[in-house]
A and B are shown apart, each in its own frame.
Chain A
Amino acid sequence: MAVLELKKISKHFGAIEAVKDVSFALEAGEVIGLMGDNGAGKSTLVKMIAGNFRPNSGTMQMDGREIVLHKPVEAREHGIEIVHQDLALCNNLTAAANLFLGRELKTGFGPFKVLDYAGMYARAAEIFVELKSETRPRDLVKKMSGGQRQAVAIARTRLSNAKIVLMDEPTAAISVRQVAEVLNLIRRLRDQGITVVLISHRMPDVFAVADRVIVMRRGTKVADKAIAKSSPEEVTGLITGAIETV
């Protein structure tokens, strides 16, 4: 059974139809490349799955049961994690504070609970080691490199036992070495049975890790195909519209 199934999901912003009647199913341990031109509706689509936007119509099912997500916390409770395209980081906070933003650890007893600084620093350090990223939990994000910021955003998805990880252009601003690291991470997630949706404009990345590619054009899904049965040329054609649909 599919981990997540979308049925005829649509979202419009005023007159703009950002996503139109998109349906697909995600299986456990699958890596899906989600591709499309700028403005095709990729970010809007994953934001609906992550609870940031409510669809105007259509339904979502997890493990066969319908879910309605009103806010990001509810998506996380269902095991859905997201790395946002603009990373969604607060420059004035530390790496650890950003990592735990919205789900801070607390310590103390009864009603007297305070933020657990030590616990959050320790857990953050563990995750950065796991990601092989030289990111210090106590550093302010303001002072970090692009790669470190990306690491903080990705580290968020490792806080809980996610079932689905949505990555909106996680490799947009980082070095070749770090791209390889992110792709390795995606493979490790897949090996743990986690489903990964990778949004990327970089054809080589998608073809390196994805099992399947979904192509969107102007809000609609125009292709959904096994990577092995496709080619970069075909996907490019689908993105630009040179190939109508497959």
Chain B
Amino acid sequence: MTTTLDSTIAKKQETFLSHLLGNQAFWVFIAIIVASLFLSQATDAYATTKNLYNISRNFTFVAIIALGMTIVIITGGIDLSVGSVLCLCSMVLGVVMHAGYSIEAGIAASIATALIVGAFNGILIAYIGLPPFVVTLGMLSIARSLAMVASGNTVVFEFGPDHDKLLSLGGGAWFYGIANPVLYMVVLALLTGFVLKWTKFGRHIFAIGGNEHAAILTGVPVRRIKVAVYMISAMSAGIAGIVQTGWLGAITTNIGTGKELDVIAAAVIGGAALAGGIGTAIGAVVGAALIEVIRNSLGLLGINAFWQGCVIGGAILVAVLFDRIANYRRAD
């Protein structure tokens, strides 16, 4: 009796292959590969070093924020303020450096701004119990307005004594010709993946998204974790803002407008479930990559840019259908 019970208990439900095939990020990855193979045949411009360099750099900003967004989404929340926070943090960086302070001071001020904004969102959500959608919608408006106040609604393109350092931070490629933003993204993705899979904090993030009430009853510090999660999200927007400023070399007050939608789309395409409890770091990255490949390829194929929205929207719908289809097949 005990031997059969032992062996039943020891059984693994999923093999590596079935796990992979049920993984949405894997299929998005396949889609990117297939699209890339097709595009490299269909146009000469796609598989050039320059184009691939551009694609890989362009999607990193969305991907970096999507990493933070994925963590928020796993807890069952949402952060609509990231586009504006990106702008605000870029502005703080620009204004501080423009005033003659060092790049370190600029980055510190920028990250501190992000953390304060994130803590503000998180406290209203976790301790006052306001809905994330509403709180971060409010912050979307507030952060952009603050960015305008901070800059007097002007363009900042002069970054003081450390001007060149900032530009090489975002625009350079010091590692085997890989664009710096890509390096930052890879590091942040690895870090996010590690935290989600291997730490207690990561485990608790999933628990909150799965059943918040159960997490509270078992003594998970739900409120503190929620505050931390919104701080991480804002910080990812801040980091993206800093890097993007270094790359673009100028900041306007409409930078990052509407970016929250790209970011949420990337997270969802990568498999994060808006109902909470599900999401991966790799999903955020491949989701962002797919969106950029779609953009890039439509341009190269000479398709009117007005169609972009349809294709990206279609990808979002396919992504949310994926889960249904996978479950449907299993139920059969």
Chain A interface, DSSP helix/strand/loop, else mixed: loop
Q: Are B9 and A132 in contact (CB under 8 A)?
A: no
Instruction: Tell me if B219 and A71 are in contact (CB < 8 A).
Output: yes
Contact call B13/A72, Cβ cutoff below 8 A: no
| Nearest-neighbor residue (CB-CB) of B194 within chain A | A114
Which A residues between 67 and 125 are near B, CB-CB below 8 angstroms?
71-73, 76, 84, 86-93, 97, 101-102, 104, 106, 114-115, 125
Choose among A87, A88, A92, A138 the residue that contacts B12 (Cβ–Cβ < 8 A).
Answer: A138
Q: Does B217 contact A (CB under 8 A)?
A: yes
Contacts A88-B214, A89-B211, A101-B215 given; indicate if A132 touches B5 (C-beta within 8 A): yes
Question: CB-defined interface of B4-23 with A at 8 Å, one 1/0 digit per residue?
Answer: 01101111111000000000
- Separation of A134 and B219 alpha carbons in the complex (Å): 27
A90 close to B8 (CB less than 8 A): no
Q: Does A139 sit at the interface, judged by CB under 8 A?
A: yes
Specify which chain A residues have a CB less than 8 angstroms from the CB of B278 in the assembled complex. 92
Tally of chain B residues near chain A (CB < 8 A): 30
List A contacts of B216 (CB < 8 A). Answer: 52
Are B210 and A106 in contact, with the CB atoms below 8 A? no
Given contacts A89-B214, A90-B277, A92-B209, contact A72 B219 (CB under 8 A): yes
Please give, as numbers and ranges, the residues of chain A lying within 8 Å of B200 by CB-CB distance: 104, 106, 115
Could you say which residues of chain A place their CB within 8 Å of the CB of B210? 90-93
* A115 adjacent to B10 (CB under 8 Å): no
CB distance from B92 to the nearest CB of A (A): 32
CB-based contact A125/B10 at 8 Å: yes
Say whether chain B's binding surface is mostly helix, strand, loop, or mixed: helix
Is A135 an interface position by the 8 A CB rule?
A: yes
The chain A residue sitting closest to B216, CB to CB, is A52
* A136–B219 CB distance below 8 A: no
A129 at interface, CB cutoff 8 A: yes
CB distance from A136 to the nearest CB of B (A): 6
Q: How far is the CA of A82 from the CA of B2 in the complex (A)?
A: 27
A140: B residues at CB distance < 8 A = 13
Q: How far is the CB of A64 from chain B (nearest CB, A)?
A: 26
Partner of A72, one of B12, B197, B218: B218
Partner of B211, one of A51, A88, A106, A128: A88
Residue of A at shortest CB range from B207? Answer: A90
- Identify the closest chain B residue to A73 (Cβ): B219
Contact A125 B220 (CB under 8 A): no
Residues of A within 8 A of B209 (CB): 92
The smallest beta-carbon distance between A98 and chain B, in angstroms, is 8
Closest to A95 in B: B9
B contact residues around A55 at 8 Å (CB): none
| Known A90-B215, A136-B8: A101·B198 in contact at CB below 8 Å | no
Q: List 16 A-B contacts (CB under 8 A).
A: A73-B219, A87-B214, A88-B211, A88-B218, A91-B210, A91-B277, A93-B203, A93-B210, A101-B203, A101-B214, A101-B215, A102-B218, A115-B198, A134-B5, A136-B10, A136-B13
> Besides A93-B210, A134-B8, 14 other CB < 8 A contacts?
A72-B219, A84-B214, A86-B214, A91-B210, A92-B209, A92-B210, A92-B277, A93-B206, A97-B206, A101-B214, A114-B198, A128-B9, A136-B11, A140-B13
